[in-house]
Structure 1
Amino acid sequence: MQQAIPYEPSLFPVRAGGGPPRSRRRRALLLNPSVVAGGEQQRPARRGEDAEEEEEEEAEQEELAAGVRESTRRAVAESAVVVFGKRGCCMSHVVNRLLQGHGANPAVREFGDEEEAAVVGELETISGGGRGVVQFPAVFVGGKLFGGLDRVMTAHITGELVPALKDAGALWL
């Protein structure tokens, strides 16, 4: 009988900053619950403080998006096969296992909700935007958008997947 492995968030890659970016006020609220509960430490917001926090948060979001765009571009350029999917997505796991079953070793890039918009934008830019909206899991073979789970399964059934992987250099046989 098989035993389930307990979920640990540390199994997934995290940003160097330790999670999604937070403004100073959000960090203070997380570290000091009395501020939220209406304790004595709560003070009225100064004029312009909210605008500063919003600007900081926008700058953090832009920095995160720039890093995600660069790593996405690099992953597509450097790997013969790349699977992009949401963290913990079962369909990404299925695509990955199917490709591994053929002997390919795809690079897998998983991301959270905070990175999704940046990844989608960059993948649409890379693919040329001519094939419609990028859906996850998105599989890139040889630097070109191959498709999602449905396209990979169709190519597998019709026998087109192995030649595509060979042309991309993902299979050596």
Structure 2
Amino acid sequence: MGAFYEYYRAADHAAATSRPEHSREIADTSRGVPEFDVVATKWIDPEVALGQLVAFAGRVDYSLGLVETVELYPPPEGAPRSDEGWHALPEDSPYLAGPAIAALPAQARDMLAGVDDARLPMLAEQWATIEEFSHFTADEDEFMLSLTKELVGLARRAKEHDQLLYCWMCL
């Protein structure tokens, strides 16, 4: 099945974690599933792949802690504290099966939001060269530009509304 990462903006942590079992991409207001401004990706994790885009955007060196997320769901304070506790969890526990929600730092949002439109094509080309995308072909250049524009646009809207970026993950 693979990993799915959905980046979205929300007013606060409570709004971001509303109905955590549901994809952020699919809204069902009749069932209480809120609608989010979201960019869905399949394989762009926040700390490595997105972290490198943030580094390129901010013109800083990439390091693993650059996009240090804060885990919100499942709540860290409810996680088992011992091996026995982990082994006692039911198979469908969100601590084992997901999904998970994390907040991205405001610095990451601001670095993406601050990219000048004229730099977007060069930024997408640079991002496409990272090791995690080595299986891509030249045919996917347009996709990378589109994705870069979507993520930068999401960051700009989040900053404009004084919101943070969040990542809903299903691994």
Structure scoring higher RCO (CA < 8 A, sep ≥ 6) equals 2
Normalized against structure 2, the TM-score is what? 0.23
More strand by share: 2
Structure with more helix by fraction: 1
Structure 1 length normalisation: TM-score? 0.23
